[in-house]
Homo-oligomer: A and B are copies of this chain.
């Protein structure tokens, strides 16, 4: 049995490991993302290691074992499927779903997950463009680039975001930047690397470099 809390730790370790390019995740990093103190994290890491969910040597940070990774991927699968449900079926905005999916991701029923997946049409990506692992934990392949790294005059398609805060997503909404829209880069400021882009071949929009860094394109 894995508790709600253990599942959260494993999910966060998975995500931070990805971000670190496969490197160990540190105690302090985990403390930040779990909203707890380093001492509490230390405690939990000992427990997760005992259960063989993580590889843990004191002071050396952690990585997931195969088993831990399986649990993490199952939680991420559920999170992202529920996000699709909330947006596609219930009409939530992509900026409103994170906290609800954080709860739904812990509902424990394989049959439910698979029926939900089917009901949603076996989606491969969630409303933020994040890939949804399949029942075996296999992630769809994705290679994306930050919009901030695209050269002038190029045309690309918006396929994801690397920040999920409501404020950021609402900012994109306000500028009509949505998943699937086409973006042609018209100008990049010498001074602050801000972008002037043409959206869907129709309207011209200004975008700070800070935003462009968190918009993923193909």
17 contacts between A and B (CB under 8 A): A86-B112, A89-B119, A90-B112, A90-B115, A90-B119, A91-B115, A92-B111, A92-B115, A96-B111, A99-B109, A100-B107, A100-B109, A100-B112, A103-B108, A103-B109, A104-B104, A104-B107
- Answer yes or no: A116 CB below 8 A from chain B CBs: yes
In A33-59, which residues have CB < 8 Å from any B CB? Answer: none
**In the complex, which residue of chain B has the Cβ closest to the Cβ of A99?**
B109
Which residues of B lie under 8 Å from residue A90 when comparing CB positions?
112, 115-116, 119
Which residues of B lie under 8 Å from residue A86 when comparing CB positions?
112
A interface secondary structure, majority: helix
CB-defined interface of A129-144 with B at 8 Å, one 1/0 digit per residue?
0000000000000000
For the complex with contacts A90-B112, A100-B112, 15 further pairs of A-B residues with Cβ separation under 8 Å are A86-B112, A89-B119, A90-B115, A90-B116, A90-B119, A92-B111, A92-B115, A96-B111, A99-B109, A100-B107, A100-B109, A103-B107, A103-B108, A104-B104, A104-B107
Cα-based distance from A92 to B86 in the complex (angstroms):
20
Q: Give me the 5 closest cross-chain CB pairs, A-B, nearest first.
A: A90-B115, A100-B109, A103-B107, A100-B112, A90-B119
Seen from chain A, the residues whose Cβ lies within 8 Å of a Cβ on chain B are 86, 89-92, 96, 99-100, 103-104, 107-109, 111-112, 115-116, 119
A91 to chain B, nearest CB (A): 6
**In the complex, which residue of chain B has the Cβ closest to the Cβ of A103?**
B107
